[in-house]
Structure 1
Amino acid sequence: MKTLDELLRSNIKGLKPYSSARDEFTGAASVYLDANENPFNQPYNRYPDPYQRNLKAKIAPIKGVNADQIFLGNGSDEPIDLLFRAFCEPGKDNVVSIDPTYGMYQVAADINNIEVRKVLLTEDFQLDVDALLTAADDNSKLLFLCSPNNPTGNCFKEDDIVAIVKEFDGIVVLDEAYIDFAPEKSLLKRIDEFSNFVVLQTFSKAWGMAGIRLGMAFASKELIKVLSNIKYPYNINILTQEKASELLDKEDDKQQWVETLLKEREQMNSDLQQFSFVQKIYPSDANYLLVKVDDARGLYDYLVGEEIIIRDRSSVALCAGCLRITVGTADENKLLMKALKTYQK
């Protein structure tokens, strides 16, 4: 395993981070005349805490980590992009990724001019550990895993993930956006074991906060410091910080939402089995089902006409003929089933 210093781009090693007014003074004061802020319209006239200290202090005990092991980004997409910018030399380095998986890894790679080496999952949507490690070379800086995986919906075996983390020379990024819906436990508990391990989570799914755009990255404090040094100074606005802090006090609500969605997922799975055009419903550890049907595009277009929007994943590797259906409220799911009954007739 290469050290963090060996993996970092040379320009990032020598980077002098921007020093904002809120970097140079922290704490309370009576008069702030340091940041060229408008003195009116408090508190929104003030720049937000660039390191989100109060919010991280609330997140840390919930996640069982230290505050200095947390990076907060504009969705999970921000830390994904920052990892490319910190570790991958454009036009030279590459990353390894599973296929199929979340599409932003490829988009972030394309933006940063980085080659992506894709390795197909097995037929049962599990990791081909040997193939993933074989795909890497001396210029492979990042390896992306998503568990539960999008769009397949399943978790990967912990032993397989850990084997990759131990053997891969670069940074392994495990995206756990849907982990709250899974019976398997988060691997967040293992970040202290490996200096090359990053776990991504989000407020968008189980917490119901997709609209405020807040993602989390967890890693060693040294790696988190790298991301903090290269992010834009005030990347998380004060409204997002306030709303997230407010909702973190309602963890019981979040857990109730998860339990309700898991029951609805089971009911949706059962209801879908009645339709002759449904060929297969794949096991899911997430808040959606991947469903193979006779005519994916035709069914998708029909549901659009019924003002019910799902996702056509039939062009994705290993997902020919598949639709991805998010689990909604009981009423929304009943409307879907009603429309599908009409479609079958």
Structure 2
Amino acid sequence: MTRRVLVLAHTGRRDAVDAAVAVTSRLHREGLTPVMLARDVASLTETVGESFARLPVAVVGDEVQLDDCEVGMVLGGDGSILRAAELVRGANLPLMGVNLGHVGFLAESERTELDASVHWVIEQDYTVEERMALDVQIWHSGQHVGSTWALNEASIEKHSRERMVDLVIEIDGRPVSAFGCDGVVLATPTGSTAYAFSAGGPVVWPEVQALLVVPISAHALFSRPLVVAPDSVMAVEVLPREDEKGMLWCDGRRASELPAGSRIEVTRSDQPVLLARVHQTPFSERLVDKFDLPTTGWRGPVEPHNTVIPPTTGAIPGGPGRDVGGQG
């Protein structure tokens, strides 16, 4: 049976165009069938010319369906991977990102590893990692008016630049706080390094099962980011105090207008996003690399033979009678 690989590229960038030509050519030489969207084939043919037109590229929807592909190679930045995740939603298709953009947290490799990435696909030398996604429901006047989803975050934001929007946040059926603000970000661990990070939220390791609530420029005494259980129901209501509308954005791509009185409910989706992984690099190392964090002075873990074994009896620092704080 012919093996098919979906190739998605940001065809408006020259480096992505060159990468797409290199990837499709290599896949073809190795006996695999490269698969692309019709618009990408047309764009590449116009940009590259006959040398690309002669490549036997299958077109999605004509000869091949997304479900017929074994993996998708995404050539671009995180935005390209988010677009790809939207495209393959509903298909059991893992995505391998090759970063041609800036930070590229979602990508598996950098542009210098393009040849290696194709080799990993040819040899099927990768594992598939599930990333939590969000299910988003929109209500107004007691009526369900829409559904959507997000990989990074669902953000409820003010509609007008010159005014705040009044929101109330609810967790598991109980109100937590109400305030005027620029908005609030409801994010996954994957999204904790995206919009939620910019809004002052915590960085959450991808394997942690949790959801985030991060207010944006809230005019309130209590507007701290919240980390809630993965099965919690997060809800935000647009209060009708000033009859001010809001906007819902999912991954910065899918938008819905929210009239005053709208309610948005966000839960963990039953359908995760699949990412093809090769590197087993710890997330802490990726974090340092992507944000170029300073680590000067680090000496590493203490060797086992140099570890001090604490006594088994005696007073315990911070024991009874000492208030050290913590969760109640």
Normalised to the residue count of structure 1, the TM-score between the two structures is: 0.23
Q: Which has the higher strand share?
A: 2
Q: Which has the higher helix share?
A: 1
Normalised to the residue count of structure 2, the TM-score between the two structures is: 0.24
Structure showing greater radius of gyration is 2
Higher relative contact order (CA 8 A, sep 6+): 1
